[in-house]
């Protein structure tokens, strides 16, 4: 029975559907460090993956070679990752990007509590310019990068500039007292902080962004990013790793660092060597936060897509939401994220319960993996997911990698789907349209130009559905399931936009696709989406043609550096700072407009604006506005804020850290806003000459109107 079905399908393949000969398109190359939409990321907890060099393992209380005590180092290292790169564990799966634990030197202390916690995870830094010796030397790190690049795999480092390590204001002897060094030179520690490197405002209760930014995250010694040495060291430190050839950055705890400083830090990274950077802004189940969207749209960084992750878990894992709400999430995130295909999708990570549960239905995991790999966004897979690893809570969700076999269903689903993100731009860049929907069934179509992918998922384990009236943009023909019927998918027939009705069995998943000719220009991705005049921007898509045409930022023409059918590089034009839609034109054809590229005035500095004696009535808040694009160009609707008044300063003194142009004479005023009601300060504009680099502070009194 099974073989008959197979035989019929293979007879159908090739009738109307022929796979075009694939030469690798430029946008999909592993050298493309600003676009990960054609990649699948694999997240590795370095210590837990593979011990390739036992001689670098820590000793004593730091180490448990059996990995039974998951709070100790287990021995995993960069050599272990190199070994798995070289034996094609990742390439065979179609993985083209690895996200590894923070690589920097961490504290060596064992926290003297019941657990004896260590820094095996890498988030308790001591020296951001040096490698963690238990993961390897710089030479090992360089070999990791080289081994990955040799296989067309990108390397993303985790980086945590919010803090050093756990500290206790009253107990200098606790752990390492949050001590930090700059390339081996001791700078300071948490107590007796004469350098003013850290915040000393207690731990956050997570009640507001301000509280979470300027108080400690748990007991972690929280950096004061407005300190010039902290700022400069973080800029230099990330450049150490950029210069070693990393391809991406996962920025830890971005909700807990000042937005203005991060925007300035990002503009420095893009000026130095642009790589795809995505931040971690944790959202709980059902949580939707406009500040999260604003961060993704304005900071220059993408985000891990927690809305996607939480809803996908609800629908497939926990059965606390249905397919309608899954579709609603796809629609609403498409509206709230300016570049939704640049956010990193996932179903679990090292801070969440593993998706798969003891006794859980493996099909639920398999469906969630297919959904993630075929949806908009850059998909990420947490190590061990391919082996149905379980474990609730930290550190149980960080067990040692149990196996490197390549036979599991999930391994082979990833193997089928991951390469399609490079072959068919509908997966990497396409829009999403709902085609058939009820509580249990979601059929959605991805479309980019004339490239199309259709996905059908039935999450019910009991009920099958007759899919009648299903429409699709797939051209006429028969389509075999690209999952090779692994999840019981069938071949479908499409005629004039109608899919011949078929029975979607309980638990069934099918994926069908067509690579179009993509003859007219379509922009799928622009990276980075912010920069100053002259910097290089990469525009990816299809149908740009081989002869050089025009790229416009609004109506300004950009200088073209290189032009290929799927990739164009340009310099940012010297346009007035502001937001511009990008278009590509050739031979009278013009692409879609890729919205809201931000041209900065110039290099950025992070300035703390402080205003005293700004008394407000209930509902009123203080904002900042001024004569620069970065200060809203005097438009109260673009004013910066609401400013803060509870941690660093107290009402009626307000403060806010803002990324503004370096070395400029700026003019500004504070305003009081209550909804659309705006009160400007009186008197002359405040003036300030910003420093040529780094950070600064300006402190003025409110001028009565």
Alpha-carbon distance of 130 to 137, in angstroms, equals 9
Task: Please state the closest distance from residue 79 (CB atom) to ligand NOJ, in A.
Answer: 23
669 binds ligand NOJ (CB under 6 A): yes
Stretch of 21-29, 159-167, 362-370, 610-618 lying at the interface with Ca ion (CB under 5 A): 159-167
- Within residues 361-420, the interface with Ca ion by CB under 5 A covers none
In order of 74, 120, 293, 659, the CA distances from 351 in angstroms are 18, 14, 21, 30
Conformation bin of residue 683: beta by default, left when phi > 0, alpha when psi is -120 to 50: left
- Within residues 355-394, the interface with ligand NOJ by CB under 6 A covers none
Pairing of strands 677-680, 695-701: unpaired
Q: In the complex with Ca ion, which residue's Cβ is closer, 57 or 649?
A: 57
336 binds ligand NOJ (CB under 6 A): no
In order of 334, 567, 588, 595, the CA distances from 592 in angstroms are 16, 15, 13, 9
222 binds ligand NOJ (CB under 6 A): no
350 binds ligand NOJ (CB under 6 A): yes
Could you say which of 28, 56, 181, 292 contacts Ca ion (CB under 5 A)? 56
Could you say which of 357, 550, 646, 685 contacts ligand NOJ (CB under 6 A)? 685
- Output the CA torsion sign for 599, 601, 605, 608: negative
In order of 144, 248, 249, 257, 342, the CA distances from 242 in angstroms are 14, 9, 9, 21, 20
Which residue's Cβ lies closest to ligand NOJ?
123
From the candidates 211, 222, 280, 664, give the one annotated as an active-site residue.
Answer: 280
CB 313 within 8 A of CB 348: yes
From the candidates 169, 193, 252, 339, give the one annotated as an active-site residue.
Answer: 252
**Tokens representing 659?**
């990324």
Show the beta-strand stretches assigned E in 77-214.
97-100, 104-106, 125-131, 154-159, 163-166, 180-182, 185-188
Task: Please state the closest distance from residue 160 (CB atom) to ligand NOJ, in A.
Answer: 5
Task: Please state the closest distance from residue 485 (CB atom) to Ca ion, in A.
Answer: 41
Task: Please state the closest distance from residue 74 (CB atom) to ligand NOJ, in A.
Answer: 16
From the centroid of its chain, how far is CA 649? 32
Q: What are 689's strand-pairing partners?
A: 665
Q: Nearest 5°: phi and psi at 635?
A: -90, 115
Question: Number of C-alpha atoms within 13 angstroms, CB side, residue 306?
Answer: 19
Could you say which of 634, 678, 679, 691 contacts ligand NOJ (CB under 6 A)? 634
Task: Please state the closest distance from residue 288 (CB atom) to Ca ion, in A.
Answer: 23
Could you say which of 82, 155, 160, 570 contacts ligand NOJ (CB under 6 A)? 160
Other beta carbons less than 10 A from residue 281's beta carbon? 22
Could you say which of 73, 89, 120, 123 contacts ligand NOJ (CB under 6 A)? 123
183 binds ligand NOJ (CB under 6 A): no
R_g over Cα of the chain: 26
Q: In the complex with ligand NOJ, which residue's Cβ is closer, 395 or 543?
A: 395
Could you say which of 253, 257, 344, 443 contacts ligand NOJ (CB under 6 A)? 253
Q: Residue 136: is it exposed, middle or buried by C-beta count within 10 angstroms (0-12/13-18/19+)?
A: buried
Could you say which of 239, 642, 680, 691 contacts ligand NOJ (CB under 6 A)? 680
Task: Please state the closest distance from residue 5 (CB atom) to ligand NOJ, in A.
Answer: 44
Q: In the complex with ligand NOJ, which residue's Cβ is closer, 469 or 683?
A: 683
Show the beta-strand stretches assigned E in 383-482.
431-437, 441-448, 451-458, 465-467, 477-479
- Within residues 292-321, the interface with ligand NOJ by CB under 6 A covers none
280 is catalytic: yes
- Within residues 161-220, the interface with Ca ion by CB under 5 A covers 162
252 is catalytic: yes
CB 31 within 8 A of CB 23: no
In order of 447, 521, 542, 558, the CA distances from 545 in angstroms are 20, 8, 8, 17
Task: Please state the closest distance from residue 84 (CB atom) to Ca ion, in A.
Answer: 14
| Residue 256 binds: one of ligand NOJ, Ca ion, none (C-beta under 5 to 8 A by kind) | Ca ion
Q: In the complex with ligand NOJ, which residue's Cβ is closer, 476 or 689?
A: 689
Report angle CA 446, 448, 451 to the nearest 5 degrees: 85
Q: In the complex with ligand NOJ, which residue's Cβ is closer, 241 or 270?
A: 241
Number of residues counted as binding ligand NOJ (CB under 6 A): 12
Catalytic residues, by residue number, are 252, 280
The residues that touch ligand NOJ, with contacts defined as CB under 6 A, are 121, 123, 160, 252-253, 280, 350-351, 634, 669, 680, 685
What residues line the site for Ca ion (CB under 5 A)? 51, 53, 56-57, 75, 77, 162, 222, 256
């Amino acid at each position: 029975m099974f073989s008959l079905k197979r035989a019929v399908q293979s007879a159908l393949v090739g009738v109307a559907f022929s796979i075009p000969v694939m030469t690798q398109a430029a946008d999909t190359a592993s050298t493309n460090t600003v676009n990960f939409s054609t990649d699948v990321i694999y997240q590795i907890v370095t210590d837990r993956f593979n011990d390739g060099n036992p001689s670098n393992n820590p000793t004593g209380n730091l180490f448990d070679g059996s990995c039974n005590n998951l709070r100790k180092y287990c021995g995993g290292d960069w050599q272990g990752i190199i070994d798995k790169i070289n034996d094609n564990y990742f390439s065979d799966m179609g993985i083209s990007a690895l996200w590894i634990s923070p690589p920097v030197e961490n504290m060596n202390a064992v926290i003297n509590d019941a657990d004896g916690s260590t820094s095996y995870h890498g988030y308790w830094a001591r020296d951001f310019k040096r490698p963690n010796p238990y993961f390897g030397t710089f030479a090992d790190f360089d070999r990791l990068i080289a081994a990955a690049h040799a296989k067309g795999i990108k390397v993303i480092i985790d980086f945590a500039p919010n803090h050093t390590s756990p500290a206790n204001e009253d107990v200098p002897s606790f752990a390492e007292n949050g001590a930090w060094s700059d390339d081996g030179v001791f700078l300071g520690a948490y107590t007796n902080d004469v350098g003013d490197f850290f915040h000393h405002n207690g731990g956050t209760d997570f009640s507001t962004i301000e509280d979470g930014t300027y108080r400690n995250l748990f007991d972690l010694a929280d950096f004061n990013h407005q300190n010039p040495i902290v700022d400069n060291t973080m800029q230099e430190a990330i450049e150490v790793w950029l210069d070693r050839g990393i391809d991406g950055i996962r920025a830890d705890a971005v909700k807990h660092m000042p937005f203005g400083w991060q925007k300035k830090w990002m503009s420095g990274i893009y000026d130095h060597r642009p790589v795809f950077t995505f931040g971690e802004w944790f959202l709980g189940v059902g949580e939707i936060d406009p500040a999260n969207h604003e961060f993704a749209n304005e900071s220059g960084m993408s985000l891990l897509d927690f809305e996607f992750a939480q809803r996908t878990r609800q629908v497939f894992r926990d059965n606390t939401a249905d397919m309608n709400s899954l579709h609603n999430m796809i629609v609403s995130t498409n509206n709230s994220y300016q570049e939704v295909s640049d956010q990193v999708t996932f179903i679990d990570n090292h801070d969440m319960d593993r998706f798969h549960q003891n006794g859980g239905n493996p099909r639920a995991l398999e469906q969630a993996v297919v959904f993630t790999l075929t949806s908009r966004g850059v998909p990420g897979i947490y190590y061990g997911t391919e082996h149905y690893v379980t474990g609730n809570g930290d550190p149980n969700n960080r067990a040692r990698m149990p196996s490197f076999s390549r036979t599991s269903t999930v391994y082979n689903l990833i193997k089928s789907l991951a390469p399609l993100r490079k072959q068919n731009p509908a997966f990497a860049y396409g829009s999403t349209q709902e085609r058939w929907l009820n509580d249990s069934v979601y059929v959605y179509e991805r479309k980019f130009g004339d490239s199309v992918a259709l996905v059908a998922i039935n999450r019910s384990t009991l009920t099958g559905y007759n899919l009648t009236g299903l429409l699709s943009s797939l051209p006429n023909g028969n389509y075999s399931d690209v999952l090779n019927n692994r999840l019981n998918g069938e071949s479908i027939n499409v005629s004039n936009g109608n899919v011949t009705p078929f029975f979607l069995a309980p638990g069934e998943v099918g994926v069908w696709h067509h690579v179009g000719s993509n003859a007219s220009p379509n922009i799928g991705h622009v990276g980075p989406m912010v920069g100053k005049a002259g910097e290089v921007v990469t525009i990816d898509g299809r149908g740009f043609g081989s002869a050089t045409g025009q790229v416009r930022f609004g109506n300004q023409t950009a200088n073209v550096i290189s032009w290929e059918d799927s990739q164009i590089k340009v310099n940012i034009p010297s346009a007035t700072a502001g937001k511009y839609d990008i278009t590509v034109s050739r031979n009278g054809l013009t692409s879609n407009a890729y919205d809201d590229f931000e041209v900065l005035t110039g290099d950025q500095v992070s300035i703390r604006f402080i205003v005293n004696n700004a008394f407000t009535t209930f509902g009123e808040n203080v904002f900042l506005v001024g004569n620069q694009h970065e200060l809203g160009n005097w438009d109260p609707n673009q004013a910066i804020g609401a400013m803060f008044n509870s941690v660093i300063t107290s009402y009626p003194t307000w403060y806010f850290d803002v990324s503004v142009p370096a070395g400029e004479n700026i003019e500004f005023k504070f305003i009081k806003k209550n909804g659309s009601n705006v009160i400007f300060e009186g008197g002359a504009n405040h003036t300030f000459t910003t420093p040529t680099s780094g950070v600064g502070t300006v402190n003025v009194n409110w001028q009565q109107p």
